[in-house]
Amino acid sequence: MGNAQKKPHGRGDGGPHSESHNSHHWRGKGGSADKYKVGPESKEKVANGSSKRGSTASTQGDPSAGGKGTPPAGTVNLDAPCGALPPHLSRLKNEGNLLFKNGQFADALEKYSQAIQGYTDSGLDSPDDLCVLYSNRAACYLKDGNSQDCIQDCTRALELQPFSLKPLLRRAMAYESLERYRKAYVDYKTVLQIDISVQAAHDSVNRITRLLIEQDGAEWREKLPEIPLVPLSAQQHRREEPPSAEVLQARAEKAARDAERRTEVRFAASKQEGNDFVKKGQYPEALGKYTECLKLKPEECAIYTNRALCYLKLERFAEAKQDCDAALKLEPANKKAFYRRALANKGLKDYLACSADLQEVLQQDPNVQEAEKELEEVTVLLRQSLANNSPSKPRKTVPITEVENDADAVVSNSEDRGQDVTINLHPTNAYDFGQSLNAARSSGNTAACAELLASTAPETLPQLLSTQLDGRTVGFIMQALDSHLLDKDPDLVYQHLRHLHTADRFSVVLMLLEKDEHRHMTQLFERLSAAESTEFSKNDVQNLANKYI
C-alpha cells in the first residue's frame, strides 16, 4: 500500500490531486499502470470538482470557477455581491476566488480565513455562505497538499449543508491522498448519489475499488463504513423531473426570504457606512450610502431624514426639503423631519414655512432647545422680511361707498378721526370681507369692525380671513371685540374667538404680535372670563385663552 505513494508522479498541474491520483496505479497482470491514470485535463477537473459526463455543472461561488469565460483580473468586479454576505466579506471572498484562479493558493487561503473570521464576528446567520467559505478554503488546503485541514474544513461545510457536493468531493480526494481509501470510497459513492454525472467520482470509485480488492480481498465491501442514503431532495440528477406546485411555491418562498435577507444585510451595511461617514463629516460619501439604502428599501423614513441632514450640510436645501416631505408622507408626525425641513426652509428664505415647522416641533416636544433658538432667530428674520416688503409710504384709504342695498350697509362715524366709513355688512366672499375690514382698519374705526363681526357667522370667520390674516388685523379684531361687542354679546365674542384661532397661519401671525397687542388680548380674555353666560364657563375661557396667550 505504501508503495503506491512512492511511485513517480505523472504529468499534471502540481496540485495535491494530480499527485495523489497519478500515484495510485493499479498493477495487474498483463496490464499497464498507465491504463488507470487520470489525464491532464481530467486531473484539473477533479481538483475543481467539476468533471461530469454530459453535464455543465455550475461553479458559481467556487474559487476554481475561472475558465475560458473568466474576465482578466483587471475587469473582475471584486465588490460583486455574494449571497447574504455584507460588502466587506463579499470582497474578501471575491479576492480569494481571483487569487485561487491565478494559482496563489496560500494568499487565497488567507482571504477565505479572514472572511470566515469576519462572518463569525458579525453574528450573521447564513449557513449557505459559510458552507461555501469553508469549502473554498478546503480547496486551497487541497492544492497546497494539506489534506488533514482540507478534511476538517469539508466536514464543517457538510455540518452546515449536509450532502453539499463540492465539500464531499474534496474530502474524498483528501482521504484518497492520505490513503484512507475506505472513507474516500464512501464519499465518492455519496457524491454519485447526489449527481451521477460527476465523471471524476466515477473514475475515482473504479480506481479505489481495484485498490481495495488488492488490499482486502473479496470481502472488501464488508469492511467499508456505511454509505449514507442521500435524500431525494439532494439528488441533483433527479431534479430534471417537473417539480410539483408545492415544491415551486416552497422554492419561491425560500427565494423571497433569501432575497429579503440579502437586502436586509446590504441595507444595514450601507446604513452603517453612511452613519460612519456622517460622524467623520464626509457628507458626500454618506449621501451616496443613504441613496443606496433607499434603492433597497424606499419606504424607510429614517434614511430620508438622514439624507436630508447630508443635503443640509452641503447647502442643497431644496433636496433636503424634498427628503423631509417624503419622510413626513411616511410618518406624518416625525419630529426630526419637521425640524430638518424647517432648516431647509430657512436656507430657502421661506421664513414663514420655517416658523410653522419649528412650532410643530415645539408642540410635539416643548423641550427642544434647538427649535426654540431657531424659532427666535427666524421670527426676527420674518419681521425683517415683512418690513422690507412693506411699501415705504402708508396706503391711501379708499372708503367703500357703493353698495347694492342700503339694508346691507352701515355708515359709522369714526370717533378717532371724524371720517365716515361705509361698511358692507354682508360680504359674499373673502375678497368683499377683506375690503370691508380694510376700510374699517385703515380709519381705525373699531365700531365699524364690531358691526361687521356682529353680522358675520363665527364659523365662517377663518375662511373669510384667509387672505387678510396678519398681526395688525388680529390685533384690530381683538380691540373691536373688547371695546364694542363684549358688553353687548359675550356669547358672540366667545364664539368668534373659538373659531378665529383655527384660521390658516394663525399660530405664525400670533408670534408677530407686538407687546401692546398681546396686552389687549390678555385684557379681553380677563374680561370675558368675568362675564356671565350660560354658553360657556370660566374654565372654557381659560382653555381657549391657552390657544392665544
Domains of the chain (ranges, CATH numbers): 3-67+76-235 (1.25.40.10), 407-545 (no CATH)
Residue 34 is classified by DSSP as: G
Q: Does 412 score more than 80 pLDDT? A: no
Give the position of cell 401671525: 509
Local structure of residue 15 (DSSP, 8 states): S
Percent of the chain clearing pLDDT 90 (strictly above): 47
How many helices (H) does the chain have, and how many strands (E)?
A: 25, 2
Q: What pLDDT is stored for residue 13 in this prediction?
A: 38
φ, ψ dihedrals at 422, nearest 5°? -95, 125
The pLDDT of residue 429 is 84
Instruction: Tell me if 347 sits within 8 A of 341, measured CB to CB.
Output: no
Tens of pLDDT, residue by residue over 150-160, are 999 999 999 99
Q: Is the pLDDT of residue 78 over 60?
A: yes
Q: Per-residue pLDDT averaged across 240-262, rounded?
A: 85
Angle at 321 between CA 317 and CA 324, to 5 degrees: 140
Q: If pLDDT is split at 50, 70 and 90, which confidence band does 297 have?
A: very high
Q: What is the pLDDT of residue 178?
A: 95
Among 383, 417, 384, which residue's Cα sits nearest to residue 399? 417
Integer Cα distance of 109 and 106 in angstroms: 5
User: Cell 439528488 belongs to which residue?
Assistant: 235
pLDDT number for residue 421:
52
Give the pLDDT mean for 212-220.
Answer: 90
State mean pLDDT over 42-68.
42
CA distance 342 to 325: 11
Distance CA 208, CA 275 (A): 58
Q: What confidence score (pLDDT) does residue 54 get?
A: 39
3-12, 54-63, 525-534: the lowest-pLDDT one: 3-12
Helices (H), ranges, 331-424: 335-347, 351-364, 369-389
The grid coordinates of residue 363 equal 408642540
Cβ contacts of 47 within 8 Å, gap of 6 or more: 13, 15, 16, 17, 18, 64, 139, 142, 143, 173
Q: Give the C-alpha separation, 31 to 52, whole Å.
A: 27
Beta strands in 156-224 (DSSP E): none
- Picking from 512, 440, 521, 525, the residue whose alpha carbon sits closest to that of residue 472 is 512
* More confident of the two residues 63 and 444: 444
Q: What pLDDT score does 237 carry?
A: 57
340: cell is: 430638518
Given a contact cutoff of 8 angstroms between Cβ atoms, the answer to whether 274 and 306 are in contact is yes
Q: Across residues 384-399, what is the average pLDDT?
A: 56
Q: Residue 408: what pLDDT?
A: 45
- Residue 17: predicted pLDDT: 36
Q: Which residue has the higher pLDDT, 203 or 398?
A: 203
Residue 278: its pLDDT value, please?
A: 95
Is the pLDDT reported for residue 503 higher than 70?
A: yes
- Cβ distance 327 to 301 under 8 Å? yes
What local confidence, expressed as pLDDT, does residue 426 receive? 79
Q: Is the pLDDT at 466 greater than 50, yes or no?
A: yes
Please state, in angstroms and rounded to a whole number, the distance separating the CA atoms of residues 94 and 134. Answer: 14
Q: Helix or strand or coil: residue 374? A: helix
Collapse the DSSP code of 69 into the 3-class scheme (helix H, G, I; strand E, B; otherwise coil) and give the result: coil
Q: Minimum mean pLDDT among 6-10, 271-275, 380-384: which range? A: 6-10
The predicted-structure confidence for 350-375, as pLDDT tens digits, reads as follows: 888 898 899 889 888 989 899 989 98
Q: What pLDDT does residue 213 have?
A: 92
pLDDT at 240: 57
Q: Give 421's strand partners.
A: 412
> Which of the four pLDDT bands, split at 50, 70 and 90, describes residue 415?
very low
